[in-house]
Amino acid sequence: MDKVLATLHSLAGKRLVIGVPYVWLLLFFVVPFLIVFKISFSWMQPIQPGYAPLFAWVEETQRFVATLNLSNYQVLLQDSLYLSTFLYSVKVAAISTVLCLLVGYPMAYAIARCGPSTRNLFLMLIILPFWTSFLLRVYAWVGLLKTNGVINNTLLALGIIDQPLTLLYTDFAVYIGIVYSYLPFMILPLFSNLEKHDLTLLEAASDLGASPMKAFFKVTLPLSMPGIVAGCLLVFIPAVGEFVIPSLLGRTDQLMIGTVLSAQFFSARNWPVASAVAIVLLLLLLLPILLFQRYQRRELEAAKR
Amino acid sequence: MSQKTIDRSHEYVRIEGVTKRFGDFVAVDNVSLSIFKGEIFCLLGGSGCGKTTLLRMLAGFESPTSGRLLIDGQDMAGIPPYDRPVNMMFQSYALFPHMTVEKNVAFGLEQEGLSKAEIAKRVGEMLDIVRLGDFARRKPHQLSGGQRQRVALARALVKRPKLLLLDEPLGALDKKLREHTQFELINLQEQLGVTFVVVTHDQEEAMTLATRIGVMNKGQIVQVGTPTDIYEFPNSRFVADFIGSVNMFDGQLVEDEPGHVRIRCNELEATVFVSHGISAPPEAKVSVAIRPEKIEMSRSAPVGTENCAKGVVKEIAYMGDLSVYLVRLESGRMVRVTIPNVERHADERIVWEETVHLSWRPSSPVVLTI
């Protein structure tokens, strides 16, 4: 009997531990998601709450009537703005991700290969910017990049240029902003992967005739693939939906999907269309995540054996 | 193997006064050594004796602080590992986990820029030699320890190196597999004519594999010789004690003739008569080393008054093929004696607390001065 109670007890404990995050996700992800999903099928209304209810009691027929509005999704297909901003967002996110990888990989590699005390110092330096507000850091770039900003003034003073460069409100500024903000998300998973590498593998490669460069491309790079994939997803996914950086630093003639989404919600107050954008974006971003999870599961199974 | 003659005409590896320091620590201390073509040379020593550092210097992963390393007459200074005519089998095997067995073995050949067909042919041949043909498409994590060891060996040998370095090649295998693999290694070495330099801490492994053994201690090579030399004619207390088990008695020379010596040991009542001369100053402090299997044990007293002792059996360890007896002498000293179990029936065997007489031949003791 005691045994049974103990088992029940431990089972309850296990359930509780697993349950808390699930309840959290249910309350703050699933429920809001369902609300957004619902709104995406409704009509815009000028009065509060801004959208028509999906289900209404109709007096004349004495029954509930559900009015599903698919036009919000049709708008996304018909209005070329959405497709072009989405493609532009994917392009910006993809280029930023590649840039992050190119900058972040050597940094992660260097950190993983240095001594424990310097390693901790460098990791600290990577994480340190998080202690300042994200918004503040992006604003700081405005001051650096604007026509009479720090960078232009310095270059002018040094005589390298005689006309200020247009840096702000360009794609270039957005790339800088995204790479700068998301670099830690690239470096940390790469570091945790590279740090675990068995360095005798490189000695073995060298012993078998591979130069350090070849050994890197044949051994280190393939083995760091899980870190690369994780880092790229952590940068790419939020970058696609990014709206603070493009609205502060980016072009005015070409919007990103995140900017459109926030404009629909807060300026146009067209919640149904905004919700439809959010849903489509989510579904499209789900794809790479699912692919990553499948990849991870395969790696995990391989590691188990 | 130990009876195999060494062809000393081809000196393949020459180590000249090599020292390696890591900060204040001297890992390898002024080692000079020649290794001949076609031999299996074992560097034997405890952990931290510098044997692995010496091997890594041959492979090119460490460079000597001073001294020279020559392989096939060529000074190796400044030559990186990937340009040396040497391959190494790592203690951990260091197989590439993301590559199949086939790919692992092909890796070295791909670096040489050989054609695909040539690589496939040589990989196939090599995998057949190590009997892994059926496992070509497996990944390392799908193999057993013994199979991984053979992949590592194949990967190193497929490059047809003139010199193969093996770092504790059998360390990760269980005893039965180790014995089997030892003989396989020897066959392979003879078949391919490669010179092997093996690092091991396991003296049994060194004894079976090696044509010659270099015993290392504290960064120095203390004795180089065939397994028989090292076992039967150790040149120091360290070597006698490190290789196999030995009963060591401290004593003093009482008679020093060219053809024999007599030694008095505090822990032995009778003097020790040794039937060969030694080179030591008169009255010198010496040690007498007698191997456990060279001591005879019986219930009756031996003839003569020398080379004998009397004691009581305190411990018996039955090992199957032989039994180890620990006998306490009257001086309180414990002596180790091994007796082969020739008879299946135990009726005649000496048992605990029996008083026994120990004796040995005049040729058996080794007299050590250092």
pLDDT, position B368? 85
Do β-strands B40-44 and B195-200 pair in parallel, antiparallel, or remain unpaired? parallel
pLDDT band at B298 (very low <50, low <70, confident <90, very high): confident
Beta-carbon contacts of B280 under 8 Å, excluding residues fewer than 6 positions away, are B253, B256, B286, B367, B369
Query: Residue B96: what pLDDT?
Result: 94
How many degrees, rounded to 5, is the angle at CA A240 between CA A139 and CA A181? Answer: 35
Cβ contact B112–A209 (<8 Å) = yes
pLDDT, position B5: 58
pLDDT at B7: 66
Q: Which CATH architecture has domain B245-368?
A: Beta Barrel (2.40)
Between the two ends of chain B, the Cα-to-Cα distance in Å is 29
Residue B306 CA to residue B298 CA, distance in Å, equals: 16
Q: Report yes or no: A264 and A72 within 8 Å, Cβ to Cβ.
A: no
B83, B94, B142 ranked by CB distance to A204: nearest: B94
Residues (pLDDT < 70) of chain A are 1, 300, 302-305
pLDDT in the model for residue B152 = 93
CB contact under 8 A, A208 and B107: yes
**Higher-pLDDT residue of A300, B101:** B101
A198/B94 CB distance under 8 A? yes
**End-to-end Cα distance, chain A:** 38
From chain A, pick out residues whose CB is under 8 angstroms from the CB of B105: none
Sign of the torsion angle spanned by Cα atoms B158, B159, B161, B164: negative
Q: How far is A215 from chain B (nearest CA, A)?
A: 10
- The answer to whether A303 faces chain B, any CB pair under 8 Å, is yes
- The answer to whether the beta carbons of residues B329 and B267 sit under 8 Å apart is yes
Residues on chain A touching B94 (C-beta within 8 angstroms): 198, 200-201, 203-204
Tell me, letter by letter, the H, E, C secondary structure of B118-168: HHHHHHHHHHHHCCCHHHCCCCHHHCCHHHHHHHHHHHHHCCCCCEEEEEC
Residues B109, B115, B118, B123, Cα dihedral to 10°: 40
* Nearest by CB: A203 against B94, B142, B159: B94
Report the C-alpha gap between B218 and B64 in whole angstroms: 16
pLDDT at residue B3 above 70? no
Radius of gyration of chain B (CA): 25
**Model confidence pLDDT, tens digit, residues B132-152:** 889 999 999 999 888 998 899
pLDDT number for residue A204: 95
pLDDT at residue B256, as a whole number: 79
Q: Do B82 and A208 touch (CB under 8 A)?
A: yes
What's residue A287's pLDDT? 84
What's the pLDDT band for B326 if we cut at 50, 70, 90?
very high
> ω before A49 within 30° of 0 (cis)?
yes
Which residues, at least 6 apart from A226, have a Cβ–Cβ distance to it below 8 Å? A193, A295, A296, A299
Of B55, B2, B1, nearest to B28 by C-alpha is: B55
Residue B81 has pLDDT above 60, yes or no: yes
The residue among B279 and B230 whose pLDDT is bigger is: B230
- CA B30 from centroid of its chain's CA atoms: 21
Sequence ranges of the domains in chain B: 11-240, 245-368
* CATH for B11-240 (3.40.50.300, 2.30.36.70, 3.40.50.720, 1.10.3720.10): 3.40.50.300
Instruction: Please tell me the distance from the alpha carbon of residue A87 to that of residue A106, in angstroms, as a whole number.
Output: 29
Question: What pLDDT, in 10s, does the model give residues B48-68?
Answer: 898 999 999 999 999 999 999
Residue B268 CB-half CA count within 13 A? 28
Cβ within 8 Å, pair B141-A305: yes
Residue ranges per structural domain of chain A = 70-304
According to the model, what pLDDT value does residue A154 have?
Answer: 92
What is the per-residue pLDDT for B4? 53
pLDDT at A97: 96
DSSP β-bridge partners for residue B198: B42, B166
Per-residue pLDDT of B82-95, as tens digits, reads: 999 999 999 999 99
Q: Can you give the three-state secondary structure of B282-315, one letter per residue?
A: CCCEEEEEECHHHCEEECCCCCCCCCEEEEEEEE
In this structure, of A231-235, B155-159, B177-181, B214-218, the range with the lowest mean pLDDT score is: B177-181
ipTM of the complex: 0.82
Q: What's the mean per-residue pLDDT of chain B?
A: 87
Q: Is A62 left (phi over 0), alpha (psi -120 to 50) or beta?
A: left
Amino acid at A277: V
The confidence score (pLDDT) of residue B2 equals 40
The amino acid that residue B334 corresponds to is M
CATH architecture of A70-304: Orthogonal Bundle (1.10)
B94, A214: Cβ pair inside 8 Å?
no
Those residues whose C-beta lies under 8 Å from the C-beta of residue B264, and which sit 6 or more positions away, are: B251, B252, B254, B271, B272
Residue of chain A with shortest Cα separation from B98: A223
Question: What is the percent of chain B where pLDDT is above 90?
Answer: 38
- Flag if A204 and B112 touch (Cβ within 8 Å): no
